[in-house]
Amino acid sequence: GQQLNQSPQSMFIQEGEDVSMNCTSSSIFNTWLWYKQEPGEGPVLLIALYKAGELTSNGRLTAQFGITRKDSFLNISASIPSDVGIYFCAGRNANAGKSTFGDGTTLTVKP
């Protein structure tokens, strides 16, 4: 089946630094999604991407849908302590009834 590889697996950064993480797939997707999950909660959708090459921002977060349709990137600028959590990418095809999730990137921000 389709598998997503997220990297890095974890990140430890200083408050104020920028963060980059990515997600790659062995097959193409028509939709890329980025979620954040905090301890004891379910994932929350951050950004949805629907077109190859698309660049979308949500506050300090920016995500891109890779041209090859096999990858996506998430950047966080000027990180703050509340950015701590696990960031998941997910890919979905148009006719698929479900999204395939990566295994997440755990972000720790030191004040």
Q: Scan residues 58-87 and list those touching another protein (CB under 8 A).
A: none
Pairing of strands 85-92, 71-76: unpaired
**Under the criterion CB under 8 A, does residue 103 sit at the interface with another protein?**
yes
Q: Which of 11, 19, 61, 90 binds another protein (CB under 8 A)?
A: 90
Residues in the chain: 111
- Segment contacting another protein by CB under 8 A, of 11-19, 60-68, 73-81, 90-98: 90-98
**Under the criterion CB under 8 A, does residue 97 sit at the interface with another protein?**
yes
**Under the criterion CB under 8 A, does residue 95 sit at the interface with another protein?**
no
Structure tokens at 51: 């077109």
Q: At its nearest, how many Å lie between another protein and the CB of residue 15?
A: 25
Alpha carbon distance 17, 19 (integer Å): 7
SS3 81: helix
Alpha carbon distance 65, 97 (integer Å): 20
Q: Which of 43, 46, 61, 74 binds another protein (CB under 8 A)?
A: 43
Alpha carbon distance 35, 55 (integer Å): 16
Q: Which residues of this chain interact with another protein, rule CB under 8 A?
A: 4, 31, 33, 40-45, 48, 88, 90, 92, 97-99, 101-104
